[in-house]
């Protein structure tokens, strides 16, 4: 039989091939080959959708597909069961080629209850595959979300391929001999669902079984029940007539090497551990818990065997204060937070600017202002990172572009902080933090050696008027303008630093007007000078002669990249510029931007990078913004870019080139 391909026609248009197979009981099942799929799992916050999604992701990653994920959950730990605010979802796109986003819209939606259906159906394109847990469509649950009639019965789902499966009762049936009560057994329905999906998409199952054994080490009966439910779901897929097609998505060609699946927060934490090892310095993290940054604190707390000290402070200010104190003592001081925390840390960041001590400040951005949207993503702290302090207090700002890239960004943040004796802002966001992708595990030998950047001073570097040798803490390296850094315990190098303006070289308190002017400009010049140590602007322009460029920073890399691909496959030309360094910009950025007739800047804020680019380069950047707490959809971006390209060529038609 021909598989009715439940997925939207793949972008690359690979026709589905079918391979008839047979299932026990003589049922003929076919296998359809797809090049990519987007699945969204949606359920109640208590249904374990994030765990299910993460497991499916791990299976998919270890199978060798490329993938991107988008967890989306409410800020409340448990909103009332079965309600719209309580819906939690997890979307992933996986493919036999490299993918840049978790997908604009799902091809397959799994809805574990009426609320999940109501909240997500609008985004499932017509004809898409919809799997629902029919057990949950009770009058009470329907009423909770305002369904007057049961959508499974009233014909309203006709536009989709709806498969209604009693997931809950099949799970409890499968576990009736497990010794677990009904309520407890029901909780394994997510694993039943995972089993079913694992069958549908030919996912390897050993990883999940091992995971469940590990996870419930101390509760073997729960481990056994979950594994039984998982297997039951798999076998159900294999035998039922409800699903006659399963899908194969071949592994994606990837660069040779060893891979793992990694989330942004995990990669960031590992990058910080690596930075400690690469610099030889002990890592000290001072942090106060905040979504979506807390997982970095959790992860680093597990790596004490690397000499990593983690300090859960009484508040955000103490978190950064302790980190700065540790830096003064020669540690790699780090603080991790989100936007509200950065607001509180501002004064201490200024102190770090003035004392010229290394410090890494990680801001995992979330929707703002104020408490805003704690679990949703946004890029709206850029200007806060740039300017959110009193006085002229320049701070380098860098941003990772994908979950795995958080690792390299963390190492780079530490490099700049150490080499230039400066606080550095690392701007991740909720999408990167919780999203995941396969990550090529770097060879430790290929990582940069940060030890030369440390260079503690151990000898006097000047002399007093009478010729006595003395230590001048504000004598600078002529190239980097980094000041001399001597740590307590170093004999003969005692000195005092602080937030009051420093006299050049000696670091003594100085209120001299000319000195303040000089020091203010010097601190700025030091940060500007970092540009000399960073690579030129990263431009992806396969055709080489695009007239329109799209520029972005941070987590928009994937959606912009996917949009650019669409544009190119339509025969148009576009350049993608993506910034790792936002302060300072790469030295050639101005020249690069000047090459294009049009520059578009998509951001998940109201145009913060665009403002900086316009101010610095006088380029008429076209800002395209969105603050929905979700990443851009690449189709929408593609439409914006296409418009820009078509109107640019129209306006230039006939004009001398």
Partner 1 sequence: MTTVELGMPDAPTPIDAAIARSLEQHGPKQTELKGKDFKTDQEVRWCPGCGDYVILNAVQSFLPSLGIAREDMVIVSGIGCSSRFPYYLNTYGMHSIHGRAPAIATGLAASRPDLSVWVVTGDGDALSIGGNHLIHALRRNVNMTILLFNNRIYGLTKGQYSPTSEVGKVTKSTPMGSLDHPFNPVSLAIGADATFVGRAMDSDRKGLTEVLRQAAEHQGTALVEIYQNCNIFNDGAFDLLKDPATGPMWTIPLEHGKPLVFGPDGASCVVRDEFGGLRIAETNQVDASEIVVHDATREDPSYAFALSRLSSQDLRYTPMGVFRSVRKPSYEQMMAEQLHEARLQGAGDLGELLAGGDTWEVGA
Window 226 to 255, contacts with partner 1 (CB under 8 A):
251, 254-255
DSSP H or E stretch at residue 237 = helix 220-239
Rank residues 38 and 332 by Cβ distance to partner 1 and give the closer one.
332
Interface with partner 1 in residues 495-514 (CB under 8 A): 495-500, 508-509
The alpha carbon of residue 62 and the mean position of all alpha carbons in its chain are separated, in whole angstroms, by 20
Rank residues 279 and 546 by Cβ distance to partner 1 and give the closer one.
279
How far apart are CB 443 and partner 1 at their closest, in Å? 8
Which pairing describes strands 622-625 and 598-603: parallel, antiparallel, or unpaired? Answer: parallel
Rank residues 322 and 562 by Cβ distance to partner 1 and give the closer one.
322
Write down the H helix ranges in 364-463.
382-387, 405-420, 430-434, 451-454
How far apart are CB 204 and partner 1 at their closest, in Å? 10
What phi and psi values does residue 81 have, to the nearest 5 degrees? -55, 140
Q: How buried is 465 (Cβ within 10 angstroms: 0-12 exposed, 13-18 middle, 19+ buried)?
A: exposed
**What is the x/- site pattern for partner 1, positions 42-61, by CB under 8 A?**
----------------x--x
Radius of gyration for the chain, computed over Cα atoms and rounded to the nearest angstrom: 28
Rank residues 188 and 355 by Cβ distance to partner 1 and give the closer one.
355
Q: Which stretch binds partner 1 (CB under 8 A): 100-108, 488-496, 536-544, 599-607?
A: 488-496
d(CA 577, CA 574): 10
**Binding residue for partner 1, selected from 256, 513, 571, 656, defined by CB under 8 A:** 256
> CA torsion 585→591→595→597, rounded to 10°?
60
Examine residue 431 and tell whether it contacts partner 1 (CB under 8 A).
no
Q: Which stretch binds partner 1 (CB under 8 A): 77-85, 484-492, 559-567, 607-615?
A: 484-492
Q: Tell me the DSSP string of 23-62.
A: -GGG-EEEEEEESEEEEEEEEEGGGTHHHHHHHHHHHHHH
Rank residues 61 and 293 by Cβ distance to partner 1 and give the closer one.
61
Interface with partner 1 in residues 353-382 (CB under 8 A): 355
Q: What is the DSSP letter of 361?
A: E
Rank residues 186 and 437 by Cβ distance to partner 1 and give the closer one.
437
Examine residue 487 and tell whether it contacts partner 1 (CB under 8 A).
yes
Examine residue 259 and tell whether it contacts partner 1 (CB under 8 A).
yes
Write down the H helix ranges in 96-219.
114-120, 139-144, 167-174, 182-186, 189-200, 206-215
How far apart are CB 95 and partner 1 at their closest, in Å? 15
> Does residue 244 sit in helix, strand or coil?
coil
How far apart are CB 222 and partner 1 at their closest, in Å? 21
Examine residue 402 and tell whether it contacts partner 1 (CB under 8 A).
no
Rank residues 241 and 443 by Cβ distance to partner 1 and give the closer one.
443
How far apart are CB 445 and partner 1 at their closest, in Å? 5
d(CA 73, CA 49): 9
Rank residues 202 and 616 by Cβ distance to partner 1 and give the closer one.
202
CA-nearest of 149, 231, 265, 102 to 633 is 102
**108-111, strands of its sheet edge to edge:** 66-72, 87-95, 36-44, 108-111, 129-133, 161-165
**Binding residue for partner 1, selected from 333, 584, 602, 607, defined by CB under 8 A:** 333
How far apart are CB 510 and partner 1 at their closest, in Å? 12
**What is the x/- site pattern for partner 1, positions 290-329, by CB under 8 A?**
-------------xxxxx-x-x-xxx-xx--xxxxxxxxx
Q: Which residues lie below 8 Å from residue 65, measured CB to CB, with a gap of 6+? A: 94, 95, 96, 249, 250, 251, 252
How many residues does this entry show for the chain?
Answer: 657
Number of residues engaging partner 1 in binding (CB under 8 A): 85
**Binding residue for partner 1, selected from 172, 348, 422, 428, defined by CB under 8 A:** 348
Interface with partner 1 in residues 436-465 (CB under 8 A): 441-442, 444-449, 451, 454, 456-459
How far apart are CB 325 and partner 1 at their closest, in Å? 3
Q: How many CB atoms lie within 10 A of CB 20?
A: 9
At CA 249, angle to CA 88 and CA 68, rounded to 5? 40
How far apart are CB 470 and partner 1 at their closest, in Å? 9
d(CA 650, CA 571): 16
Examine residue 62 and tell whether it contacts partner 1 (CB under 8 A).
yes
Rank residues 173 and 449 by Cβ distance to partner 1 and give the closer one.
449
**Binding residue for partner 1, selected from 94, 236, 243, 284, defined by CB under 8 A:** 284
């Amino acid at each position: 039989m021909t598989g009715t391909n439940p997925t939207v026609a793949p972008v690359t248009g690979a026709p589905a091939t079918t391979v008839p197979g047979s299932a026990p009981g003589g049922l003929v099942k076919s296998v359809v080959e797809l090049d990519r799929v987007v699945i969204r799992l949606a359920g109640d916050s208590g249904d374990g959708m994030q765990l299910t999604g993460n497991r499916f992701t791990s299976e998919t990653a270890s199978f060798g597909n490329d993938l991107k994920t988008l967890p989306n959950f409410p800020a409340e730990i448990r909103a009332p069961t079965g309600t719209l605010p309580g819906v939690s979802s997890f979307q992933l796109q996986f493919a036999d080629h490299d993918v840049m986003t978790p997908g604009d819209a799902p091809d397959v939606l799994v809805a574990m209850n009426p609320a999940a259906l109501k909240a997500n159906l609008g985004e499932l394109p017509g004809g898409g595959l919809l799997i629902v847990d029919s057990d949950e469509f009770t009058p009470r649950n329907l009423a909770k979300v305002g369904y007057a009639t049961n959508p499974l019965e009233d014909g309203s789902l006709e536009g989709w391929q709806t498969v209604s499966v009693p997931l809950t009762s099949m799970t409890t049936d499968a576990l009736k001999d497990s010794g677990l009560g009904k309520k407890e057994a029901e909780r394994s329905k997510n694993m039943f669902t995972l089993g079913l999906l694992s069958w549908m998409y030919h996912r390897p199952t050993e990883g999940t079984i091992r995971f469940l054994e590990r996870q419930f080490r101390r509760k073997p009966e729960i481990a056994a029940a979950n594994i039984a439910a998982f297997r039951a779901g798999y076998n159900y897929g294999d035998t039922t007539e409800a699903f006659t097609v399963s899908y194969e998505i071949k592994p994606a060609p990837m660069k040779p090497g060893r891979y793992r699946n990694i989330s942004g927060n995990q990669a960031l934490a590992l990058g910080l551990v690596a930075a400690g090892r690469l610099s030889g310095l002990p890592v000290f993290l001072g942090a106060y818990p905040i979504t979506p940054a807390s997982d970095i604190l959790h992860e680093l707390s597990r790596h004490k065997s690397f000499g990593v000290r983690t300090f859960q402070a009484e508040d955000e200010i103490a978190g950064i204060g302790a980190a700065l104190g540790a830096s003064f003592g020669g540690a790699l001081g780090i603080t991790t937070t989100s936007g509200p925390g950065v607001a509180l840390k501002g004064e201490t960041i200024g102190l770090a600017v003035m004392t010229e001590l290394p410090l890494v400040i990680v801001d995992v951005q979330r929707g703002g202002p104020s408490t805003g949207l704690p679990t949703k993503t946004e890029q709206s702290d850029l200007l806060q990172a740039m300017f959110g302090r009193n006085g002229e207090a320049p701070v380098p700002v860098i941003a990772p572009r994908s979950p795995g890239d958080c690792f390299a960004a963390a190492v780079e943040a530490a490099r700049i902080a150490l080499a230039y004796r400066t606080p550095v802002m690392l701007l991740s966001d909720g999408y990167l933090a919780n999203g995941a992708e396969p990550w090529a595990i770097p060879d430790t030998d290929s990582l940069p050696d940060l030890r030369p950047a440390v260079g503690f001073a151990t000898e006097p570097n000047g002399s007093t008027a009478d010729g006595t040798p003395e230590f001048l803490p504000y004598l600078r390296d002529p190239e980097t303008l980094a000041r001399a850094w001597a740590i307590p315990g170093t004999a003969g190098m005692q000195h005092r630093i602080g937030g009051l303006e420093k006299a050049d070289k000696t670091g003594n308190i100085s209120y001299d007007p000319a000195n303040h002017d000089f020091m203010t400009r010097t601190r700025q010049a030091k940060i500007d000078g970092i540009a000399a140590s960073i690579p030129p602007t990263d431009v992806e322009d396969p055709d080489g002669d695009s007239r329109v460029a799209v520029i972005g920073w941070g987590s928009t890399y994937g959606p912009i990249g996917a949009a650019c691909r669409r544009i190119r496959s339509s025969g148009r030309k576009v350049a993608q510029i993506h910034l790792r360094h936002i302060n300072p910009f790469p030295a050639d950025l101005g020249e690069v931007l000047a090459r294009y007739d049009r520059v578009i800047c998509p951001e998940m804020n109201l145009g913060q990078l665009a403002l900086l680019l316009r101010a610095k380069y006088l380029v008429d950047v076209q800002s395209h913004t969105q603050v929905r707490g979700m990443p851009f959809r690449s189709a929408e971006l593609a439409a914006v870019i296409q418009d820009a390209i078509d109107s640019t060529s129209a306006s230039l038609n006939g004009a001398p080139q």
